[in-house]
């Protein structure tokens, strides 16, 4: 890969929702790897396939989580639970809020799973 391509790909903004996002992400990762190793030779088929597999899984997970967040933002129960969780942040440092945060997070996850089904 040419050094111009490496510098262009490593400095580019990336959008997971665009068409061909997995391919672009794979090339970005390959460019970053080559930059880190200072190896600007050709890209092997194994490196590209490994990067494509990982990038496809990453883009798929990002899109799924974005869809879940979009559904959850519209549900008033989730909005109320998030506000309740934010209010816990104002408590004293002497009081443990981990249990309450975990409970609220599990309720939010149950609501999101029910919305997906």
pLDDT tens digits along 56-99: 999 999 999 898 888 888 888 988 988 888 888 777 777 778 88
**Is the domain of 48 the same as that of 99?**
no
The residue-averaged pLDDT of 5-32 equals 77
Q: What is the pLDDT of residue 73?
A: 86
Burial of 23: CB neighbours in 10 Å, binned 0-12, 13-18, 19+: middle
- Alpha-helical runs (H) found in the chain: 3-10, 21-37, 45-74, 76-88, 98-116
**Is the domain of 53 the same as that of 97?**
no
Asked if residue 35 is part of any domain, the answer here is yes
Q: What is the pLDDT of residue 2?
A: 60
d(C-alpha 12, C-alpha 60), whole Å: 20
**Is the domain of 1 the same as that of 57?**
yes
**Is the domain of 39 the same as that of 92?**
no
**Is the domain of 9 the same as that of 47?**
yes
For the chain, how many structural domains are there in total? Answer: 2
Q: Is residue 7 scored above 70 in pLDDT? A: no
Contact 45, 62 (CB under 8 A): no
Question: Token pair 């869809």 is at which residue?
Answer: 67
Asked if residue 84 is part of any domain, the answer here is yes
Is the torsion defined by CA of 26, 31, 5, 40 positive or negative? negative
Containing structural domain, residue 104: 75-117
**Is the domain of 97 the same as that of 44?**
no
Q: What is the pLDDT of residue 47?
A: 87
Q: Is residue 103 scored above 80 in pLDDT? A: yes
Return the higher-pLDDT residue of 15 and 2: 15
The residue-averaged pLDDT of 21-42 equals 83
Asked if residue 68 is part of any domain, the answer here is no
**Is the domain of 29 the same as that of 7?**
yes
Asked if residue 55 is part of any domain, the answer here is yes
**Is the domain of 57 the same as that of 85?**
no
């Amino acid at each position: 890969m040419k050094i111009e391509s490496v510098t262009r790909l490593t400095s580019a903004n990336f959008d997971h929702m665009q068409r061909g996002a997995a391919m672009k992400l794979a090339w970005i990762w390959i460019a970053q790897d080559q930059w880190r190793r200072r190896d600007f030779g050709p890209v092997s088929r194994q490196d590209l396939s490994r990067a494509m597999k990982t990038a496809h899984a990453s883009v798929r997970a990002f899109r799924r989580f974005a869809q879940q967040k979009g559904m959850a933002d519209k549900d008033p129960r989730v909005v109320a639970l998030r506000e309740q969780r934010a209010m816990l942040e104002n408590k004293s440092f002497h009081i443990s809020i981990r249990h309450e945060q975990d409970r609220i997070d599990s309720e939010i996850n149950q609501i999101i799973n029910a919305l997906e089904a």
